[in-house]
Structure 1
Amino acid sequence: MSKKKFDTPLTAAMINSLSKPGRYPEGSISCLYVKVRSETSKIWIFMSKRTGEMSLGSWTGNGKAGMTSIPMARKKALAIHAQIGDGKDPRAEKRASLMTFGKAATATIASIKAGFKSKKTEEGWERILRIHAAPITDTPVNKITVEDMLAILKPIWTTNAETAKRLRQYSEKVLDWATVMGYRSGPNPALWKGNLDHLLPKRPRLQRGHHPAVPYADMPAFVARLKALDDVATLPLLLTILCATRTSETLLASGKRSIWTRPCGRFLLSAPRPARRTIAFP
């Protein structure tokens, strides 16, 4: 491929006039070229022995969105020179910039979900990160800072303690994954000990205690009120009351069979036993 030099730095008019395929030095910054593929296809490249050929974007002479002007190309080239001067790998930096927190979160969940106890756990991870980490979803993982973590944690730190706790833990896991995969380096900004524990207040312990029990004498009226609600969410509670079972047993019950056999794993027994009442599931 031909390589033509000009006596002065390239201008927009000069680039637009280029038609012969080849690499043309920009003229003011080393390693910066316009690569002409055809009269209508021209791109900026940074090329050196250390980096090889790196695309910096398509050329535009009229500022179209997604295109790269001369000042933009120069700025990108200077940034690459700075990375090289700092001992960094520009190609690795560019690769990392494409891995956003949202993409890393999706990849992290995919890599660990086989160890989740249920689909509900996976959905919980996705929901918390999607809603509460939304401000950093499109941020490259190598650009996320402690300030970014504080920005998503502070709004719910004292008002929604459990969700805030999980958000921090999940974020730490996502950024750990990104580090191991080579998308970022350095300390994890979501780390608690020696990091966020110095910047966030200690949350007060929840003092609500156990939920009060319904007095036996009031139970008929309570059940009548539940039935009057005509809400599917009341059915598991009614089943638990009628069968005098534990909440976890009701949650594990299957509605595919008309007779419910409670699992022996929930009792100190050697074999399963039927529920105290036969329940016809709707």
Structure 2
Amino acid sequence: MPRTAKELSVKAVAARKEPGLHAVGGAPGLHLQITESGARSWVARLTVGTRTNAAGKVVQHRRDFGVGSAQVVTLAAAREAAKALAVKVREGVDPVAEKIAARSRAMAQREAAMTVRKAAGAYIKAMQSKWKDKKAVERRESWLETYAYPHIGDILVADIELAHILAVLKPIWETKTETAEKLLTVLRGTIGWATVHGYRQGKENPARFKDFLDKVLPSPTKVKTVRHHPALPFAQMPTFMRDLRARNNSSARALAVVSLTALRASEVTEAKWSEIDLDAGLWVVPASRMKMEVEHRVPLSRQCVAIFREQLAEAPGEWVFPGTKPGKPLSSAALLEMLKGMPYVDAKGERITTHGLRSTFRDYVAEKTDYPREVVEMALAHQIESEVEAAYRRGDLFQKRKKLMAEWAVFCAKPAR
């Protein structure tokens, strides 16, 4: 045990400015440590036994224990803490090992309390700002409640293994493949959140598909049946547009804009006038409203601008297409309801959908134009699947898309024969 140095006063300690360790007395081994930058902290230098040095000689083993910042811990408090450390060392207790053990016990208690249900709730709460709307949260909570929690909801997230994930996925992997894929993404995120926050340690994430679950589950593309949204045959688009224009209401105009821009329904119904420059024929949809979370510049055809000007005369407020509830936009469901009251069906006789109108546009481009695939994909605001292609294509092909959308608008406005 080191000898206690001469006890310095608070004023004397404050006068120490040179970098290094300064014994301050009043407690065994207590020093004021000053760094080159001027930071000041308390250190208790105590002997905790013996050790063999490089020369093979047994010498005293000294260890420095941090007592706190001098900006926060007073000299009197530092002395009391150093005395307490000295008592522990004298009794054979290693304060460092004791601190590590206490941290481990606290971690064990946290892990013991964190079930998959609690972890998933915390993960969803943490991600709400990224997901665009309340429905996105509700959908994830519904998947968990229906398919995951009955199997693993009350299991500790620290104990989740491959078998648990399979118990959730196998019953729905081949019958509800798309839902199973989305649920797997939520579970992977939940376990990742638990790992980052210390509730799970030293284990791989058993909810990862690539190079793990793909060894025991078939590829989703092999088992799921792709159901296409019923789409209007593009030859009928001029008739459909004439019908919409004759109706002369906000829902009909919104559907016409969906048709002319090939945007998703919600991207149209939630539009704000601040996004649109009618004089420039440009609509910039912010990333926060796009499915791919990337800003999308939409070239507006002459016909589309005319529809917007009609709507502006009726709704000059914040929303381009205001809903029935004050301060809220028109809902996508309103467009679908309107389609249900119209006589249009796809080639199989199924009633068309708003999303199917995007397929109508794609079919027109494929059958009636020579535009490259990437121009169509950009127009539809699809993600470029090829990483190489995405890396080389930095622009958004705006001028080419502008010409394409103008041609599409002319086709949609063809007069009846």
Q: Secondary structure at the match of 1:187?
A: coil
Deviates more, 1:110-119 or 1:164-173: 110-119
1:268 matched residue in structure 2 = 299
TM-score of the superposition, structure 1-length normalised?
Answer: 0.51
Task: Measure, in 2, the Cα distance between the counterparts of 1:254 and 1:199.
Answer: 42
Say if 1:270 and 1:189 are closer, same or farther in 2 by CA, change over 3 A. same
Aligned length: 185
For 2:187, the aligned partner's letter is: S
Instruction: Please state which structure has a larger fraction of its residues in helix.
Output: 2
- Which consecutive unaligned segments of at least 5 residues does structure 1 have? 1-48, 51-83, 228-234
Matched, 1:216 2:236: yes
Q: C-alpha separation between the residues in 1 aligned to 2:172 and 2:252?
A: 30
Counterpart secondary structure, 2:299: coil
**Structure-2 separation of matches of 1:274 and 1:254:** 19
Alignment of 1:192 with 2:212, yes or no, is no
CA distance in 2, matches of 1:237, 1:102: 44
Aligned-residue CA RMSD in angstroms? 4.2
Aligned position for 1:183:
199
Kindly tell me: are residues 202 and 274 of structure 1, through their superposed partners in 2, closer, same or farther at Cα, counting changes over 3 Å?
same
Inter-CA distance 166–217: structure 2 relative to 1 (3 Å threshold): closer
Residue by residue, what CA displacement relative to the aligned partner does 1:191-248 show, whole Å, maximum 9, x if unpaired?
Answer: 222321111122326455563424629967xx89xx9xxxxxxx95885159844463
From 141, 145, 167, the counterpart of 1:126: 141
What 5-or-longer segments of structure 2 have no aligned partner? 1-92, 95-100, 285-296, 315-321, 325-417
**What aligned pairs does 1:143-158 form with structure 2 within 5 A after superposition?**
143-158=159-174
Flag the 1:244–1:208 CA change in 2: closer, same or farther, 3 A.
closer
| Identical aligned residues as a percent | 29
Which AA in structure 2 matches 1:273?
Answer: V
Q: Distance in 2 between matches of 1:244 and 1:191?
A: 38
Does the C-alpha gap of structure 1 residues 243 and 160 become closer, same or farther in structure 2, counting only changes over 3 Å?
closer
Cα drift, residue 144 of structure 1: 1.6
- With over 3 angstroms needed to count, the CA separation of the structure-2 counterparts of 1:238 and 1:130, relative to structure 1, is farther
**Quick check: 2:114–2:156 contact (8 Å CA) kept in 1?**
yes
The structure-2 alpha-carbon separation of the partners of 1:241 and 1:270, relative to structure 1 and needing over 3 Å to count, comes to: closer
Contact 2:115–2:154, Cα closer than 8 Å, also in 1: yes
Residue 38 of structure 1: aligned partner: none
Instruction: Determine the structure 2 residue equivalent to 1:230.
Output: none
User: For residues 158 and 110 of structure 1, do their structure 2 counterparts lie closer, same or farther at Cα, with a shift above 3 Å needed?
Assistant: same
**Residue 160, structure 1, aligned to residue 191, structure 2:** no
* 8 A Cα contact 1:141 1:183, kept in partner: yes
The structure-2 alpha-carbon separation of the partners of 1:171 and 1:238, relative to structure 1 and needing over 3 Å to count, comes to same
SS in 1 for 2:263: helix
Q: With a CA cutoff of 8 Å and minimum separation of 6, indicate the structure with the bigger relative contact order.
A: 2
Alignment pair present for 1:174 and 2:190: yes
1:124-148: CA deviation from partner (whole Å, max 9, x where unpaired): 3323223222222222111222111
- Which residue does the alignment assign to 1:15? none
1:99 equivalent in alignment to 2:138: no
**CA shift at 1:190, angstroms?**
1.0
Give the partner amino acid of 1:267: V
1:20-52 alpha-carbon deviations (Å, 9 max, x no partner): xxxxxxxxxxxxxxxxxxxxxxxxxxxxx99xx
Q: Is the 8 A contact 1:261 1:274 kept in 2?
A: no
Q: What CA distance in whole angstroms lies between the structure 1 residues aligned with 2:253 and 2:301?
A: 28
TM-score scaled by structure 2? 0.36
Partners of 2:200 and 2:232 lie apart in 1 by 51
In the alignment, is the contact (CA less than 8 A) between 1:101 and 1:140 conserved in 2?
A: yes
Q: Do the aligned residues in 1 keep the contact of 2:283 with 2:299 (CA within 8 Å)?
A: yes
Change in 2 beyond 3 A, CA 1:245/1:176: same
Name the SS of the counterpart of 1:273 in structure 2: helix
* CA distance 1:242–1:254, change in 2 (3 Å): closer
Question: Contact between 1:108 and 1:173, CA under 8 Å: does it hold in 2?
Answer: yes
CA distance in 1, matches of 2:252, 2:179: 25
